[in-house]
Amino acid sequence: MVEQQKKVGVEPEARRTARVMQERSVSTRTNLLEGAARVFSRLTYAEARLKDVADESGISAGSMYFHFGNKADLARAILQAQQERMTATLTEVLQQETSGLTALLAVSRQLGQLISSDVVVQAGIKLGMQPGPDLETDAKDPYFEWIKIAASLIRQGIEDGSVAPTVDADAAAEYVNVVLVGAQVLSELEDSWASLPQRLERMKPLLIQALSVDATS
């Protein structure tokens, strides 16, 4: 029978069962993350309970504990997923844009769209603003990493001529991130991030004026 299965390309039963179980496990974990994101979006880290996540996800407590041992593990997974999605946006932009300045502006625009529409990213931002003591490093480190990324793009812009050579890359990178984080906070307060893309678009001419060669010449 095994030889016959190999000849006709039929997947062996044991392998098929393992594959189905793995797919179910991935699906369950995804549902838990999305359910947790919705919970963390409306409750603080201190207020949220694992029971809230299980109820929101429609998944049993036993299945939840199989994937995440405690609330901190679940919150860390949200923060990790947030950064993975934001980094994927950065990678996509870098594959398309040629100059440092256009890449910086495109990253800002694309991140605004992502934050305004992705509940997991929104939950990660909220966790970053009010983490528990066991999440402090996980929550704050990405903000400083994005300053480094912005500084790298600004230095690239200085080298390719799209950013004025007189610009202090480190100071400008911090300024860009202050603008982005400030816009996030205001948009969350106003309409749960729906206005973030438009708010960042209004800031774009000011960023160009502060950084570009044409504006400073």
CATH number of the domain enclosing 160:
1.10.357.10
Backbone angles phi, psi at 163, to 5 degrees: -115, 140
Range of 71's domain? 2-216
Residues 13-63 have pLDDT tens digits of 767 666 655 667 678 888 999 999 999 988 998 899 999 999 999 988 888
pLDDT at 67: 87
Distance (Å, rounded) from C-alpha 156 to C-alpha 23? 42
Domain total of the chain: 1
Q: Is 99 exposed, middle or buried (0-12, 13-18, 19+ CB in 10 A)?
A: middle
Q: For residue 152, what pLDDT band results from cuts at 50, 70 and 90?
A: very high
212 bridge partner residues: 163
